[in-house]
Amino acid sequence: MTQPSTADIELDTSAIRAAAGYQADVQHEIDFLFTREIEFRQETIYFIIVDRFFHSGQTRNPGPHPELFDPTHTAWGKYWGGDLQGVIDKLDYLKDLGITALWISPLFEQVEDLMLGQYAAMHGYWTKDFKRINPRFLSSGASNSLNSCSAVTSLVAAMHDRGMKLILDIVCNHSSPDVNGQKGRLYDDGVLIADYYNDTQNWYYHNPEITDWEDEHQLLYYEMAGLATFNESNIAYRNYIKSAIKQWLELGVDALRVDTVKHMPLWFWQEFTSDLRTHKPSTFIFGEWGFGKPWEANCVRFTNHSGMSILDFALCEAVRAAIARHAPGGFHLVQDVLAYDSTYDTATELVTFIDNHDMPRFQSLNGDPAALHLAMVLIMTSRGIPCIYYGTEQYLHNDTNGGNDPYNRPMMERWATDSPLYQLLPQLGKLRRLNPAVSLGSQVEKYLSDDVYCYLRRYRDFRCFVALNKGGATTIQVANIDLEDGTYFCPLTHREFEVQNGQLRDLVLNSQEAIVLSYFGNRVEGQTLVRAQLNGYHTQPGETVVVVGDCPELGNWDIAQAYALEYINDNTWFGEISFSQTAGKAVCYKYAIRRSNGPPNYENLVSRRWILSDRGTVKWRDTWAS
């Protein structure tokens, strides 16, 4: 069987439909793909520091303190001129790059002053007013009140017209540090409501700096870097911050990235995420649990119980060590992190990355473009939602002081559409959308050494095999590859590979080469689609998790006809269930274990109940009731 490449799918669907042995109508697949809402696991995120991205050419807003702006782009702590219209101007560039979701640095109005004569709040984390926009991102004279600012609505409209989602970066833990004698002065659409140095309403904690980063009490209630730390027990504060973020969601923001989440208690985040999703149920939220690891209990507890996902620092560090630094252990370091996936309830929603605004860029560690290409293929095809730091596709980096902050935030300089990475990333982004094995499925190691890493992504009858070689040319044998026998085309290398008897024999991998082979199955379709996930049951060989219930789609309580879920890892079973006959009606269901030898095992609870929508996508996230 000859399988088409993802590039072919995009460029020549008529040829694909005629391909010998291809079992799906690809044009139907593409039509189906782009006429339904696609969840965040199928997105490719691009992270922008607004001030350092692009100036639109509109009249610059000098603000009350023009000295905060540096037109020479040499004072790294000052504003350099990027604006919201500049982001809009480059949306087609980003769409052609394969970007489907844009994470932009905080847009809130900031302290308008210089700290120590050289540091402005161009980064966006010294908020003055959560209900106003930083005027430096607007044209001169434009209103910056969220109620009347057209720049944000224009950005949202332009992105949604292109099928892109907007992720707003927010911070709930703190406002501003002491800048020339003012600290934590907070406004509600221009009205002063709190002041750290005159805190009569107890909006802030007044504790010393964190000195012991292993002390949870200090992490939650002490100050970090002199920032005025909010008192989340104050209901006035909670009402303010939630009302502000809801206002942004009403303007069309699709998702939130939340700063410094480990510095606020879990109960606050549970209330915060619940309230926001009640307001806008589709909101995807992920947080920055700084340098969190899956073997750290507090990090896992937060991820599984806060109502949000997190940035995957552990995988980031492993990829940087293995590929950029050539650390001992090589790809074993990456697999060691992935081996902990079952500690998370939804590892497939972790946001993956190789660098960001708080660490040296990948190329400051290793300037070889081939190493960067390998790292990008890895995070674009591994579990999780990949996030690309702005300029990576143009090899943007500044190695002054090792590339540490602020030198990891250069001005975007090039917009070349013929750079090798700009050409590579759209192919990988399309693969993520066309092949749900990449975005939704399990990941199985197939070959592992210090220099070579092969893995299979699988979901239902979809497959994606990836081989990465960071060393010299080599030949390997891959047994039990779990791909249908046939000829496969790699869109990255333009080479063909033959799978025979379930094996990939004598696989030649050139130096610093990546190979991607895909098998496309049949998508789940239906008037109403339920994405059902079960956590908390460790299956044994011969056991399958099923959903059984009182409707035809769930077997009418006949466990032999119940809907079987897909194994993702030792803690997660997942599946897409198509409802047509029962769409728009109430259903009862529970999970059960179907055994190849022996009686079934049912959850110990009165059946779960759900009123299905009459169309669209629904998520069931459940834990086994024992």
pTM of the complete model = 0.94
pLDDT over 70 (residue 2): no
495: three-class secondary structure by DSSP:
strand
Residue type (1 letter), 47: F
pLDDT tens-digit map of 145-168: 999 999 999 999 999 999 999 999
Asked whether the beta carbons of 455 and 380 are under 8 A apart, the reply is no
- List of E strands, 226-376: 255-259, 284-287, 309-310, 351-352
Question: What percent of the chain has pLDDT above 90?
Answer: 91
Dmax (CA) of the chain: 76
pLDDT of amino acid 226 = 97
- So what's the pLDDT on residue 59? 75
Give me the residue spans of the domains in the chain: 2-30+440-519, 289-434, 528-623
Residue 108 is predicted with a pLDDT of: 98
CA distance 68 to 119: 8
In SS3 terms, 331-352 reads as CHHHHHHHCCHHHCCCHHHCEE
Query: What pLDDT does 3 receive?
Result: 42
What is the rounded CA–CA span in Å between residue 345 and residue 299? Answer: 12
Cβ atoms 288, 260 nearer than 8 A: yes
pLDDT of residue 64: 78
d(C-alpha 338, C-alpha 573), whole Å: 17
Name which of 105, 69, 74, 68 is nearest 87 in CA terms. Answer: 105
Q: Does domain 528-623 sit in CATH 2.60.40.10?
A: yes
By the 8 A CB rule, do 146 and 189 touch? yes
Mean of all residue pLDDT scores within the chain: 93
- In this prediction, residue 4 carries a pLDDT of 36
Task: Return the ∠ at Cα 392 (arms to 389 and 395), rounded to 5°.
Answer: 155
pLDDT over 50 (residue 29): no
Give the up-direction half-sphere exposure of residue 395: CA atoms within 13 A in the CB hemisphere: 16
With beta carbons less than 8 A apart as the criterion, state whether 348 and 568 touch: yes
Whole-number pLDDT of residue 157: 98
The confidence band for 39, taking pLDDT boundaries of 50, 70 and 90, is confident
String of DSSP letters for 610-626: EE--SSEEEEEEEE---
Residue 271 confidence (pLDDT) above 60: yes
Tokens representing 234? 């104050």
Return d(Cα 478, Cα 503) in angstroms, integer. Answer: 6
The pLDDT tens digits of the residues spanning 447-462 come to 999 999 999 999 999 9
User: What residue type is assigned to position 402 of the chain?
Assistant: G
Shortest CA distance to 125 belongs to which of 391, 406, 367, 314?
Answer: 406
Structure tokens at 186: 């907070």
Confidence of residue 395 (pLDDT cuts 50, 70, 90): very high
Express each pLDDT in 521-558 by its tens digit: 999 998 999 999 999 999 999 999 999 999 999 999 99
Which of 35-44, 68-77, 594-603 is predicted with the least confidence, judged by mean pLDDT?
A: 35-44
Are 306 and 261 spatial neighbours (Cβ–Cβ below 8 Å)?
yes
Q: Report d(CA 89, CA 75) in Å as an integer.
A: 25
Domain 289-434 annotated CATH 3.40.50.450: no
27: Cα separation from own chain's centroid: 28
Can you tell me whether residue 116 is helix, strand or coil? coil
The separation between the first and the last C-alpha atoms of the chain, rounded to the nearest angstrom, is 45
Lowest mean pLDDT segment, chosen from 60-74, 99-113, 541-555, 609-623: 60-74
Distance from the Cα of residue 376 to its chain's centroid = 14
Count of all residues that appear for the chain in the document: 626
Q: Distances from the Cα of 261 to the Cαs of 168, 171, 267, 291, in angstroms? A: 15, 8, 12, 11
Rounded to an integer, what distance in angstroms lies between the CA atom of residue 321 and that of residue 359? 13
Do the domains at 2-30+440-519 and 528-623 have one common CATH topology?
A: yes
Q: Which residue has the tokens 């066309």?
A: 434
Determine the CATH number of domain 2-30+440-519. 2.60.40.1180
The pLDDT of 39-64, averaged and rounded, is 91
Question: What is d(CA 268, CA 249) in angstroms, rounded to the nearest whole number?
Answer: 19
DSSP tag of 486: E
Give per-residue pLDDT as tens, 217-226: 999 999 999 9
- Averaged pLDDT for residues 116-130: 97
Q: pLDDT band at 330, cuts 50/70/90?
A: very high
Residue 69 has pLDDT above 60, yes or no: yes
* Exposure class string for 223-240: b at 16+ Cβ within 10 A, else e: bbeebbbbbbebeebbeb
Residue 476 has pLDDT above 60, yes or no: yes
196: nearest Cα among 181, 215, 211:
181
Rounded to an integer, what distance in angstroms lies between the CA atom of residue 204 and that of residue 89?
40
CA 531, CA 277: separation in Å to the nearest integer? Answer: 18
Q: What is the per-residue burial (b if ≥16 Cβ within 10 Å, else e) of 279-318?
A: eeeebbbbbbbbbbbbeeeebbebbbebbbbbbbbbbbbb
Residues annotated catalytic, as ranges? 259, 288
Question: For the segment 410-421, what is each residue's pLDDT rounded down to a tens digit?
Answer: 999 999 999 999
